[in-house]
Amino acid sequence: MLLIGKQQAVTAFLANALSPTPEPIPNTQAQQAVAPQLGKRHKFDYQKWVNILEQEAEVAAQNKPRNLTVMAGDSLSLWFPSELLPDSKTWLNQGISGEKTAGLLKRLNLFDKTTPESIFVMIGINDLITGVNDKTILDNQRQILNYLRKKHPKARIVVQSILPHQGSQATWEGKEKLLAIPNSRIRNLNQQLRTIAAKEDVKYLNLYPLFADKQGNLKSNFTTDGLHLNPNGYLVWSSALQLTVNSEQ
């Protein structure tokens, strides 16, 4: 189940995660630390994932766990290590690998019946990789936030910035697709996303500066392949989530 209950406390992450030069973790170790959590599930096709997430959302709707928080997005959200999620919340992970803004928009209804306190959204990098234009990405983002605001009026909606990639240093199999996306374009999209968030009355969480090096690329010690995150990267993200959660109290 991806319906994650209260996890072990994350201690001392604020001291380490925001350090400019945390101890790097080798790629093989990083992959071993993250990937096994899903087991055979990572081989499921898209519709199978949708069906599973729908079932898990139904469980959350029926059981009404305390402090329910939804994480909606793509593989970056999907692979978030459960032990690094703020333990004051009960997490419903609604991430799907390869997800794009249009796909997320279509399946937001899966958790309509839940009553989350907060909803964290991160989406957009796969749109860029597959050639979706900026206008479409932003229009879909606007519709996502508008939908969530209407369906969950009491929830705190948090849209997170699109993260940078590692550019020429990436080892991801689709490296040439990343090279076609300047990180300056991602920064521009994030600026417009911030404006949309303000208009839709939702919180904007700017993660980009935490992950970017001096050249604006994804820091090498935060990633497994130049696109996806290793435990160091998730520790930084965890810190930002914890600070956001703390600000709710």
Position 36 scores a pLDDT of 38
pLDDT in tens, 66-81: 999 999 999 999 999 9
pLDDT mean over 20-29 = 39
At 248 the pLDDT is 74
Domain around 163: 23-248
Instruction: Count each helix (H run) and each strand (E run) in the chain, helices first.
Output: 11, 6
In whole numbers, what is the pLDDT of the chain averaged over residues?
87
Report whether pLDDT(28) > 70. Answer: no
Output the pLDDT for position 224: 97
| Band of residue 41 on the pLDDT scale cut at 50, 70, 90 | low
* Structural domain contains residue 137: yes
Better pLDDT: 79 or 248:
79
Reported as a single tens digit per residue, the pLDDT across 161-220 is 999 999 999 999 999 999 999 999 999 999 999 999 999 999 999 999 999 999 999 999
What confidence score (pLDDT) does residue 44 get?
Answer: 82
What would the pLDDT profile of 91-119 be if each residue is shown by its tens digit?
A: 999 999 999 999 999 999 999 999 999 99
Helix, strand and coil in the chain, % to nearest 5: 50, 10, 35
- What is the percent of the chain with per-residue pLDDT over 70, rounded to a whole number? 82
138 part of a folded domain: yes
In a domain, 12, yes or no: no
CA distances from 194 to 106, 141, 189 (A): 22, 11, 9
Q: What is the pLDDT of residue 247?
A: 86
Are 68 and 115 spatial neighbours (Cβ–Cβ below 8 Å)?
Answer: yes
- Structure confidence by residue, pLDDT tens digits, 83-98: 999 999 999 999 999 9
pLDDT of residue 13: 34
User: Is there a domain that residue 8 lies in?
Assistant: no
- Of the pLDDT bands very low, low, confident and very high (cuts 50, 70, 90), residue 10 is very low
The continuous run of DSSP H or E covering 242 comes out as helix 231-248
196: left (phi over 0), alpha (psi -120 to 50) or beta: alpha
Q: Is residue 210 part of a domain?
A: yes
Give the E-state strand segments of the chain in sequence order: 3-4, 68-73, 90-95, 118-122, 156-160, 203-205
Please report the DSSP string for 98-156 in residue order: T--HHHHHHHGGGGTT---SEEEEE--HHHHHTT--HHHHHHHHHHHHHHHHHH-TTSE
In a domain? residue 201: yes
Residue 118 belongs to domain with CATH number? 3.40.50.1110
Q: Is residue 55 predicted with pLDDT exceeding 70?
A: yes
> What does the radius of gyration of the chain's CA atoms come to, in whole angstroms?
17
Please say if the pLDDT value at position 132 is more than 50: yes
To which residue do tokens 């093989």 refer? 28
Q: Would you say residue 3 lies in a domain? A: no
- Let me know if residue 99 belongs to a domain: yes
Reduce the DSSP state of residue 194 to 3 states and report it: helix
Q: Give the count of domains, the chain.
A: 1
Contact partners, residue 197, CB within 8 Å, separation at least 6: 145, 159, 203, 204
The pTM for the full model equals 0.85
pLDDT digits (tens, 9 = 90+) for 42-52: 568 899 999 99
What's residue 23's pLDDT? 40
Average pLDDT over residues 23-44: 46
- CB-facing half-sphere around the CA of 192: CA atoms within 13 A: 15
Instruction: Compute the half-sphere exposure of residue 11: CA atoms within 13 Å on the CB side of its CA.
Output: 1
